[in-house]
Amino acid sequence: MTTATIIQSLASGLLMGLLYGLVAVGLALIFGLMDVTNFAHGEFLMLAMYISFFLFAFFAIDPLLSAPLVGAAMFVFGAVAYLFIIRFAMRAKANIGMVQIFTTFGLAILMRGLAQYFFTPDYRSINVSWLGGKTISFGGIFLPVPQLVGALVSLAAFGALYFFIKKTDFGRALEATREDAGAVALVGIDKNRVFALGWGLGSALVGLAGAVMAMFFYIYPDVGASFALIAYVTVALGGFGSVFGAFAGGIIVGLVEATTALIMPPSLKAVGIYAVYLLVVFIRPRGLFGSI
């Protein structure tokens, strides 16, 4: 194993990690806002990838251009999912934790079924995008352009999210609701609207991730499942509720995965991620950046 191989895989790991972070950050946002883990997060990602695919197949819009469209579509989808399903799960008087787990889980199964029904179980891919198959090299390290662009989109999205939360009225309402949903109602902020906005925003972020990932992953009804568990681990690693934690968690997960792949059979690369997660939470039960 040469130094070049190690640097090469760490570089790929970093790019992948930024994407994991982007997938996870929407989850972290929703969790931080209302203490709900969306177990259909992977299916939201899958839907976004299909939207991107169909925009490409029918209108020949490159995934890079369609990313904002996919994000917008997913914003609407997330807000609607909140208003028509999640909102009712939050009303449960008993077993609220289980109710939200199984409601979102049921939604995941439903979405997977619908995807199989309407899109068939076939594997699809967008292999002729502008960037498809291109690589660039930095001092002997080769980086695939789609992944590199994906990482840049991810960084930009984090920046935009940070700006949104800190500088806009809606962002401040979001932060306030997360602090104390009851008090917020007293100053005339509609909690439901803020939650719907949170779901929309979280889903728009995973929509962006899906559009970018559609450039270099196969698209099929179960694709979300494989990324969802990594997203939960990423969020928990960073600390539930911490958007910055999800970002840092993503990078760590990407690097750990790349390192594990160097020393273990590829089929075991996820074991490294899981082991690091367990190690971190056993030492710090609230994740790296989670508040106590």
Partner 1 sequence: MDQAHAKRRRRDLIVAAVLACIAALVPLFVKDVYVQNIMVLTLMYAALSQAWNILGGYCGQISLGHALYFGLGAYTTALLFTKFGVLPWFGMLGGGLISAVIALALGYPTFRLRGHYFVIATIVIAEIGFLLFHNWDWAGAALGIDIPVRGDSWAKFQFTRSKLPYYYFALVFCCVAWLVTWWLENSKWGYWWRAVKDNPEAAESLGVVVFNSKMGAAAVSAFLTAIGGAFYAMFVSYIDPESVMTFQFSLLMALPAVLGGIGTLWGPVLGAVILIPLTELTRSFIGGSGRGVDLILYGTVIVLISLARPEGLIGLFSRRPASKGAPR
Which residues of the shown chain bind partner 1 in the complex (CB under 8 A)? 31, 37, 85, 88-89, 92-99, 101-103, 105-117, 120-121, 221, 225, 229, 232-233, 236, 240, 265, 267-268, 270-271, 274-275, 277-278, 281-282, 285-287
* Minimum distance from residue 202 beta carbon to partner 1 (Å): 16
User: To the nearest whole angstrom, how small is the minimum distance from the Cβ of residue 114 to partner 1?
Assistant: 6
Where helices occur in the chain by DSSP H, the ranges are 3-34, 41-59, 63-81, 87-89, 96-119, 145-167, 169-179, 181-186, 191-213, 223-238, 243-263, 269-283
CB of 274 to partner 1, least distance (A): 4
Shortest CB 219 distance to partner 1, Å: 15
Which of residues 187 and 283 has its CB atom nearest to partner 1 in the complex? 283
Element (H, E) at 141: strand 141-144
Q: Which is nearer to partner 1, 128 or 264 (CB)?
A: 264
Q: Which two tokens stand for residue 24?
A: 């996870």
Q: How far is the CB of 28 from partner 1 (least distance, A)?
A: 11
Is the CB of residue 46 less than 8 Å from the CB of residue 223? yes
Residue placing its CB nearer to partner 1 in the complex, 95 or 192 = 95
Q: Which of 16, 44, 17, 22 is nearest to 112 (CA)?
A: 44
Residues, the chain: 292
Based on CB atoms, which residue is closest to partner 1, 66 or 234?
A: 234
Phi-psi category of residue 188: left, alpha or beta, with phi > 0 → left and psi -120 to 50 → alpha: left
Residue closer to partner 1 by CB (options 89, 148) is 89
CB nearer partner 1, residue 140 or residue 285:
285
Residue 135, SS3 per DSSP: strand
How many angstroms from the chain centroid is the CA of residue 69?
17
Structure tokens at 92: 């449960």
Q: CA–CA separation, 11 vs 148, rounded Å?
A: 10
**Phi, psi at residue 24, to the nearest 5°?**
-80, -25
Q: Which is nearer to partner 1, 65 or 85 (CB)?
A: 85
Contact 41, 206 (CB under 8 A): yes
In whole angstroms, the minimum distance from the beta carbon of 242 to partner 1 comes to: 13
